Every structure is written in structure tokens, then in C-alpha cells.
Amino acid sequence: MVRVVQFLFVTKTIWAVVLALLVGSILMLSAGANPLYAYASLFGGAFFDYYGFGATLVKFSPILLAGLAVAIPLRGGLFNVGAEGQIYMGALFCAVAALYLPEFYWPLHLLVCALAGALGGAFWAAIAGYLKAYRGINEVIVTLLLNYVGINIVSYAAGGPMMEEGAPYPYSPEIPSSLFLPHIMLPTDAHAGALVGVLLAVILAFVLKYTTFGFALTTVGSNPQAAKYAGIHVQRQMVVTMALGGALAGLGGAFEILGVKYRLFHMFSPGYGFDGIVVAFMAGANPILVPIAALFFSGLRSGAQFMQRASGVDSTVIDAIQGLVVIFVAASLAIRFGESRWGKLLAQRRALDDQLTPVEKKNA
């Protein structure tokens, strides 16, 4: 019995997701649809349909990278709410590198474009990291505000200096076709960015756990004072941590240009950066779990269209379910086993045992 309860607690994130889906099914019922059929079409379309899975992977790439962009700073004690803006700045830097550098040997040029994207995101996040480390200004506020500055800069670039002649709305000329990211599931749009993202998640998990850099990063996060005595340059580490997060989001933005859009559009991201916050949170800021959470969320996003077509439930219900997932997961994480009724009961039992044992201890 105790085992079962403990198991329920360990897997509470999953139960929270199930609960959110249940509440979502009430919404679907109120719309006069069969929730079972709706969910079947949603997940069937997102994960068990070749084209549908391709569409899921297209969204998986930016959501995963944005998730890592939030998760890594979170481990370092910093809250990066600015992944959205970093995605935009990454896309801008990448588009500039793709459009204005003279074409050269393509793998190298592609690498330069991706790195330019990472640089753009890193630069944008480093502003917030610097202000936090050296001026003590709350990074949550700064990254949140920088989102809108970044979105507007891209909007200006795509509608002004970089705009294609005669374009009906703000977008840049197309990047050279040699720079298109390789596709991984032809004929869908799924591109190599998804694989790079997963690879980076694994590498980052390794780096956090086994390298001195990872140790410095997480120690600053968990105990800045101890980090200082351990000889870690806390302030510099904060800037670097933030920049690393931004670089990941910027890379996500670059992949959107190189893999899907092939142009710099204004307002091209439907809030991937904010999804990243949700994903990082669900994964408990653990880089290895981020891809799983990201896959779930990108599946929800892309499956919504299948669900709408098959069952007539409006795809906006998915936005509500996403929010509910966050609320329930957040609430479930807040409930700690030790503080719950069950935890307390078990603690009482242990205390009772302790009361009984001293006799034996004295004898021993």
C-alpha cells in the first residue's frame, strides 16, 4: 500500500497531465464532441501519422531548444522568461549571415549561420545576465521586456531594410537554397534541427553532471555563497549561464529560418519561447527530460489541427489544456511527499518505531 502511494507521488507529474486532459474533456463535452474520439485523433495525428509526426517534429525543434534555454539558466538560479525574444534575435542574426555574407562552401556557411543565430540569442540574454549579476536588476523583468524589444526589432528589419521588394507583408528575400537544413522525414518539413536539439540536450545533461563548468553553473544556482568560497567567479558565471540559455533559444530561431521558413518573417514565432518555459518547468529543469516534455507539447500543438478536422472541437481548446497542464503540474510539484497527509502518517509510524527501539539500543 505504502509502495503504491509512493509510486503515485513519484509519478505525480504524469497524473497532473492526465487530470488536465480530463478537465479538457469536459470542455470538449460542452462543445458536444466525444472526448475519447477527439483525443484519439489528436494523439493519433500527432504521433502515429507519418505526416502528422513530421509536423510535430517541426514544432519540436524550437520548443525543445526554447525549453533548454529556460532549463539551463534555471539550474543556475536564473529565470529566463525571454526565450521568445532570443528566438527572434537568433533568427535575425542568422538571416543576416545567410543573406549578406558572400556564399561559400555550404557546410561551413550553414555552421556560420547557425552560430550567428546562437550569438544573437546569447547577446540578447547576456544583457539580462549582466544587469542581474552586476547591477542586481531582476532578470525576470528584463528578459520579459526584452522579448518585445526583440520582436519589434525583427518586425522593423523584416518590414524595412531587409524587406523583399514588392512583398505583400513584411518578409525578407529567400536565403540561398544551399543553406536549407537537411530534411529528415521527406516529404514533410521535419528538419535536422530536431536531432541537433536532442543531441544538445544529452550533451548539456552530461556537461551539467560531469564537468567543472556544469558544477560551477549549478553551484551558483543552488548556493551562491558556497560557490564564491569554492573560487567560482559568481557574477561572470551568471552572465555565461544566461548567455548559454540565450544561445540555445537563438539556435532555435536560426533553425526556424534555415529549416522551415527560409525567410525572415515578422512575428514568425507563435510563442515558442513561452512554451519553452512550460516545458522546462514540466521537465523539472532536467535537460534529459526536456525533450520528452517538448515532444508532448509539440504533439499537442500539431495534433490540434487533426482533432479539429476529425471531431469538430475547436483547436483553441488545446491552448486551454496546455495552461491547465502547467497549473496542475505546478500544483502537484508543490505538494511534497513529506508534507502530505500520507507522508505525515508514515512519519508518525517511524516516530512510533523510534519510541520502541531505544530499549533495544540501550541493551546493545
Partner 1 sequence: MLDWMILGDVLRTSLRLMVPIAFAALGGVICERSGVYNVGIEGMMLSGAFGAALGTFLTGSPVAGVMVGILLGAFGGAILAVLSIRLNVNQIVAGIAINLVALGLTAFLARLIFGLDATTKTLAGFTAWAIPGLSAIPFVGPIFFNQDPLVYVLYLLVPFLHWLLYRSAFGLEIRATGENPGAADSAGVPVYRVRFLCTVISGGLAGLGGAYIVVSQVFVFTEHMSAGKGFIALAAIILGRWDPVGTLLASWFFGFCDALQLNLQFANPSVPYQIFTALPYVASILALVGLYGRVKPPAATGLPYRRESKT
Contact 153, 89 (CB under 8 A): yes
For partner 1, the binding residues in 292-331 under the rule CB under 8 A are 314, 316-324, 326-327, 330-331
What are the backbone angles phi and psi of residue 102, rounded to the nearest 5°? -60, 145
Q: Does the footprint of partner 1 cover residue 95 (CB under 8 A)?
A: no
Block residue for cell numbers 502511494? 5
Instruction: Write down the least CB distance from residue 328 to partner 1, Å.
Output: 9
Q: Does the footprint of partner 1 cover residue 111 (CB under 8 A)?
A: no
For partner 1, the binding residues in 5-34 under the rule CB under 8 A are 27, 30-31
Q: Does the footprint of partner 1 cover residue 81 (CB under 8 A)?
A: yes
Cell numbers given for 316: 483553441
Cα–Cα distance between 119 and 114 in angstroms, integer?
A: 9
Cα–Cα distance between 283 and 256 in angstroms, integer?
A: 23
**CB closer to partner 1, 113 vs 280:** 280
Concatenate the DSSP letters of all residues of 199-218 into one string: HHHHHHHHHHHHSHHHHHHH
Cα–Cα distance between 303 and 44 in angstroms, integer?
A: 8
Cα–Cα distance between 340 and 241 in angstroms, integer?
A: 35
Instruction: Write down the least CB distance from residue 147 to partner 1, Å.
Output: 8
Instruction: Write down the least CB distance from residue 168 to partner 1, Å.
Output: 15
Cα–Cα distance between 137 and 129 in angstroms, integer?
A: 9
For partner 1, the binding residues in 256-285 under the rule CB under 8 A are 274, 277-278, 281
Helix or strand run (H / E) with residue 296: helix 290-311
The residue within the footprint of partner 1, chosen from 40, 112, 140, 185 (CB under 8 A), is: 140
Q: Does the footprint of partner 1 cover residue 155 (CB under 8 A)?
A: yes
Listed ranges 36-44, 107-115, 149-157, 231-239: which one lies at the site for partner 1 (CB under 8 A): 149-157
CA atoms within 13 A on the CB side of 290: 35
Listed ranges 9-17, 37-45, 134-142, 199-207: which one lies at the site for partner 1 (CB under 8 A): 134-142
The residue within the footprint of partner 1, chosen from 334, 351, 356, 364 (CB under 8 A), is: 334
Compute how many residues bind partner 1; rule: CB under 8 A.
46
Instruction: Write down the least CB distance from residue 190 to partner 1, Å.
Output: 25
SS3 call for 180: coil
How many Cβ atoms from other residues are within 10 Å of residue 151's Cβ? 20
Q: Does the footprint of partner 1 cover residue 222 (CB under 8 A)?
A: no
Cα–Cα distance between 91 and 95 in angstroms, integer?
A: 6
**CB closer to partner 1, 58 vs 300:** 300
Instruction: Write down the least CB distance from residue 331 to partner 1, Å.
Output: 5
DSSP letter (8 states) at residue 183: B
Cell numbers given for 148: 518585445
The residue within the footprint of partner 1, chosen from 1, 50, 135, 362 (CB under 8 A), is: 135
Best CA proximity match to 193, nearest among 279, 264, 118 = 118
The residue within the footprint of partner 1, chosen from 141, 203, 230, 345 (CB under 8 A), is: 141
**CB closer to partner 1, 22 vs 199:** 22
Cis upstream peptide for 187 (omega within 30°): yes
The residue within the footprint of partner 1, chosen from 149, 184, 195, 234 (CB under 8 A), is: 149
Q: Does the footprint of partner 1 cover residue 153 (CB under 8 A)?
A: yes
Listed ranges 8-16, 146-154, 182-190, 235-243: which one lies at the site for partner 1 (CB under 8 A): 146-154
Q: Can you list the positions of beta strands (E) in 190-294? A: none
Residues that bind partner 1 (CB under 8 A): 27, 30-31, 79, 81, 131, 135-138, 140-142, 144-149, 152-153, 155-156, 159-160, 274, 277-278, 281, 314, 316-324, 326-327, 330-331, 333-335
